[in-house]
Amino acid sequence: MSNKTIEECVRVNLESYFRDLHGTEPAGMHEMLVKAVEKPLLDVVMQKADQNQSRAAEWLGLNRNTLRKKLLEHKLIK
């Protein structure tokens, strides 16, 4: 297992992303990155919180309704 921080992992992957573009200018990076990080974040936190949305929302510093909306957006709940 790597000892890299989340920030270091993101940085390395962004550098790789730019290399793979081969000079093409990116677009919509913020939304792309938020979606890429948010879904696994919500998924793992919900698992660790035993699917308890109130607990997960507290851990994430979100309102429970906001968490529920995000879970629906990412199709993590029905």
pLDDT tens for residues 46-67?
999 999 999 999 999 999 999 9
Burial class (CB in 10 A: 0-12, 13-18, 19+), 20: exposed
Q: How far apart are CA 61 and CA 2, in angstroms?
A: 27
| pLDDT at position 2 over 90 | no
Confidence of residue 1 (pLDDT cuts 50, 70, 90): low
Q: How far apart are CA 58 and CA 66, in angstroms?
A: 11
- What structural domains and CATH numbers belong to the chain? 6-73 (1.10.10.60)
Q: At what angle do helices 29-48 and 6-21 cross, to 10 degrees?
A: 140
| 10-17 average pLDDT score | 95
Number of Cβ within a 10 Å radius of residue 46: 20
- pLDDT on residue 3: 87
For the chain, the average pLDDT equals 95
The whole-model pTM stands at: 0.82
